Amino acid sequence: MTMNESRLIDLEIKFSHQEAAIEELQQTVHNQYLAIEKLEKALKVITDQLKTLTGVEGAANEKPPHY
């Protein structure tokens, strides 16, 4: 095996490891995106429930009692 062949094989090995790492990172990012999306939906539901329970929407238009 010549020096160039050895270098080429080393580069191919590194490239395949990098491909695997990139694929793993893409999967991680995708999973995190799905988790964030789920959390945002849950937060919206909780926020809406809190607004309904506390009457925040109606209270914003009312004048304070000292007026």
Tell me if 7 sits within 8 A of 15, measured CB to CB.
no
Whether residue 40 lies inside any domain: the answer is yes
Under 8 Å between Cβ of 57 and 51:
yes
For residue 57, the model assigns a pLDDT of: 57
On whether residue 21 sits in a domain, the answer given is no
Task: Walk along the chain (67 residues) and give the pLDDT tens digit of each residue.
Answer: 899 999 999 999 999 999 999 999 999 999 999 999 999 999 999 999 999 998 865 555 667 777 6
Domain that holds residue 34: 26-52
Residue 41 lies in a domain: yes
Kindly state whether residue 35 falls inside one of the protein's structural domains.
yes
46 found inside a domain: yes
| 57 Cβ contact partners less than 8 Å away, ≥ 6 residues apart | 51
7 within domain boundaries? no
Query: d(Cα 24, Cα 30) in Å, to the nearest integer?
Result: 10
pTM of the model: 0.65
- Domain count across the chain: 1
Distance CA 43, CA 22 (A): 31
33 lies in some domain = yes
